[in-house]
Structure 1
Amino acid sequence: MKPYQVACFGEVLWDILPDKKLPGGAPMNVAYHLQKLGVPVAMISATGNDADGDDLRQVMVQLQLDTTFIQTDPRHETGKVYARLAATNEMQYEIVQPVAWDFIQASDRLKEIAKMPGYLVFGSLASRNEVSRETLLSLLDGGRTLVLDINLRPPHFTQELVELLLQHCHILKINEAELAQIGDWYKFPASMEERVRAFSQKYDISTIIVTLGDKGAALLMENAFYLHSGYKVTVADTIGSGDAFLAGFLYNRIVNTPPAVTLAYACALGALVASYHGGCPAYDPNEIIALMNK
């Protein structure tokens, strides 16, 4: 089997905007940016046996994404999310359910993928249904470095689910609002660094990334805390910018870049994608370095 350095588990779908539809889903966005950076990625998901599924698979092939592990569900439709831009410049989402990616089936081939060295990226959304959740849990003890992009989308999570996933996590990506929400469950300190360190202690997570929107990001890694103020761009939309950030972070971990540079690169890629429309835009990776050098 192909030596996939990263496996991304979860939703593949169509983002339905007021004027167009775009391919998306956080794990697929991460996979897209990683493969653009030259990292072999396995995308594990499911589409429906319908025209939307056919179109989505065709787009994935055009984006040069490996579709080997995209299952076809004969009973449920391909995933859709209705997205609109709020006044705060953040996207708001209505996520249809149930859909095909709620029913990803376990298999021996997926367990083989889980045992390969590298990273496994997953989130809370694809765990909302018991079928996909059980499949995911069957892959978490294979030996990969587990990357949880928590991605809380009300009403598609519970505290119990979040706590379960946090127990299976080596690298956590979380945004500022999610850090505040989960931190309040445990009455963690108010200051961001103290809250992140308390999080790290409670769940024994050595690497925590906090995305701060247009204010950049923070990183706790090997007990050192890093901050980056981000890069200023003209925002087209913020769809997938956090996913691009995570891809930039993982790429730099794979090539063993120092933490501060890793954080800067991730911020630059996230900002670059926010300057384009959609989560999987066409761009030249050299634009990332150009933005960092501005």
Structure 2
Amino acid sequence: MVKTVVGIGEVLWDVFPQGKRLGGAPANFAWNMAQLGFRARLLTAVGRDEGGREILRELSSAGLDADVQQTDYPTGSVQVETDAAGVPTYRFRADVAWDHLRFTEAEAAMAASADCVCYGTLASRSAGTARSLEAFLQVVARRRTACRVFDVNLRQDFYSRELIERLLGLSDVVKVNEEELEILAGMWLPGAGDREEKCRELLARFGLRLVVLTCGGQGSLVVCSDGEISRKSSPVIEIADTVGAGDAFTAGFCAGLLGGKRLERCHELGVELASFVCSRPGAMQQIPQALREKFF
């Protein structure tokens, strides 16, 4: 049976100096999972404007089962600039459609059928969407076999200790980058030592199943609650930009988990998909058949 995965939160236009591309971490996750053979659903909101209509067309053409709420607020966008290494900085438009996401019986039914849900902190910058997200996750948590993936994605000042603590408490898999791990360690793990120890303490403090740490060109680390550890170096590639790389890693890793693959193989798949996305400009790429076949 095909498994159902849900990305919940923001969808937006990534506006680069050379033009715009569709993005948003939950949308990027769902986009990749759809190409990897899952029933990928996206719970988000857009405006009743041309930007929103364009997003609806693109999501439909990608085969995403999108539960897109339309509101009178504008469609989201973010100004993206990348440095010489392809590392992005972001400036998000305020008070947009996905800041007003609703949780109704339809969303509760979606949550009840999910095998995996992926979410971050950004969508919770507004109180209304934060309540909807947490209500959704509480329904997902009733299914003991469902995987709740918190891809932390700290952006600008759109987070707080209290928010992160609530979202950690609703997850069983957490993905962070090196900078985010240091922020979380400063909040809860002041005496922790190296990266591995910080990941272990995070696991224990919040009762997690897995912590996934990505460190850009310095590789990545996965620490499991049963003591298993996986370490991978980053392939040497020519980077176009790193926009959406973390979301691709999350998708590749989760595809492996849902496929019942061993931890090290899940890790390898996350690295491979992220490396592919880094080699192309923009977050949403058509995954080549040869790469897709590695997931089956």
TM-score band w.r.t. shorter chain: over 0.9
Q: Residues 126-149 of structure 1, C-alpha deviation per residue, up to 9 Å, x if partnerless?
A: 011011111111111223321101
Question: Runs of 5+ in structure 2 lacking a partner?
Answer: none
Could you say if the C-alpha distance between residues 289 and 231 of structure 1 is closer, same or farther in structure 2, counting changes exceeding 3 Å? Answer: farther
Deviations 1:90-125 (A, max 9, x none): 100001111000101111011011112511111100
* Cα shift at 1:4: 5.7
Q: Is the 8 A contact 1:172 1:208 kept in 2?
A: yes
State the partner residue of 1:207: 210
**Would you identify which runs of 4 or more consecutive aligned residues in structure 1 move more than 3 Å?**
287-290
Secondary structure in structure 1 of the residue aligned to 2:44: strand
Moved more, 80-89 or 13-22: 80-89
Q: 2:186 aligns with which of 180, 184, 195?
A: 184
On the 8 A contact 1:121/1:146 being kept in 2, the answer is yes
- After superposition, what is the alpha-carbon deviation per residue over 1:237-291, rounded to whole angstroms, capped at 9, x for unaligned? 111011010000111011111111110111011011000111101231413678x
Contact kept, 8 Å, 2:154 with 2:180, in 1: the verdict is yes
1:4 and 1:116 in contact (8 A); partners too: no
Output the amino acid matched with 1:8: G
Give SS of 1:72's match: strand
Equivalent residue, structure 2, for 1:217 = 220
After the TM superposition, which of the residue ranges 216-225 and 280-289 deviates more from structure 2? 280-289
In structure 2, the residue matched to 1:28 is 27
Separation of aligned partners in 2, 1:104 and 1:4: 24
Gaps of 5+ in 1: none
The superposition leaves residues 20-43 of structure 1 with CA deviations (integer Å, 9 ceiling, x where unpaired) of 100000000000110100010110
| CA distance 1:88–1:159, change in 2 (3 Å) | farther
Q: Please report the TM-score for the alignment, with normalisation by the length of structure 1.
A: 0.94
Amino acid aligned to 1:166: L
Give the conservation status (yes or no) of the 8 Å contact 2:117–2:147: yes
Q: Is contact 2:35-2:292 (8 Å) kept?
A: no
* C-alpha distance in 2 between matches for 1:4 and 1:10: 20
Q: Matched residue of 1:11: which SS? A: coil
Give the distance between the partners of 1:174 and 1:241, measured in 2 at CA: 12
Letter of the aligned partner of 1:182 in structure 2?
Answer: L
Report the alpha carbon displacement of residue 59 of structure 1 after superposing the two structures with TM.
1.2
The number of residue pairs the alignment matches comes to 288
The 3-state SS of whatever aligns with 2:109 is helix
1:251 and 2:251 correspond: no
AA aligned to 2:201 is A
Q: 1:21 to 1:117 in 2, by over 3 A?
A: closer
- CA root-mean-square deviation: 1.7
Say whether 1:194 aligns with 2:197.
yes
Select 1:72's aligned residue among 54, 63, 70: 70
For residue 283 of structure 1, give the secondary structure of its aligned residue in structure 2: coil
Residue 96 of structure 1 is matched in structure 2 by 93
Percent of aligned pairs with the same residue?
Answer: 27
How far did 1:188 drift? 4.0
